[in-house]
Amino acid sequence: MKINTLFSRFAIALGLCFALNVKGQTVNTEWATKINQTFAGIDKDRIPHSLLRDYAMEFTDLSNYNGTLSDTNYVSRGALKSIYNTLVMARVKPTVTSLVSPSVFRQNWNNLRQENTLVISGLYYKYSQLKSNAYPNFITVSNNKLYDKYVNGVWQNPYEVKQVFAMTTPITKFKGLTIDVQLPQSLWYTNQASSVQNIAIDFDNGAGYINMPFGGSYQLQYTEEGIYDWTYKLTLTNGQILYSQSRVIFEETAPTKSWSNRKN
Q: Spell out the residues 6+ positions from residue 154 whose beta carbon is closer than 8 angstroms to its own.
A: none
- Whether 25 is covered by a domain: the verdict is yes
* 3 state SS of 17: coil
Tell me the pLDDT band of 208, cut-offs 50, 70 and 90: very high
- Whether 214 is covered by a domain: the verdict is yes
Domain residues for the domain of 82 are 5-251
- Distance CA(170)–CA(252), nearest Å, equals 19
- Whether 264 is covered by a domain: the verdict is no
Environment class of 87 (CB within 10 Å of its CB; exposed 0-12, middle 13-18, buried 19+): buried
- Whether 260 is covered by a domain: the verdict is no
- Whether 149 is covered by a domain: the verdict is yes
- Whether 257 is covered by a domain: the verdict is no
Note the pLDDT tens digit of each residue in 124-181. Answer: 999 999 999 999 999 999 998 999 999 999 999 999 999 999 999 999 999 999 999 9
- Whether 259 is covered by a domain: the verdict is no
Note the pLDDT tens digit of each residue in 232-248. Answer: 999 999 999 999 999 99
Tell me if 186 sits within 8 A of 210, measured CB to CB.
no
CA distances from 199 to 26, 87, 129, 166 (A): 32, 21, 27, 12
Cα Dmax for the chain:
91
Domain total of the chain: 1
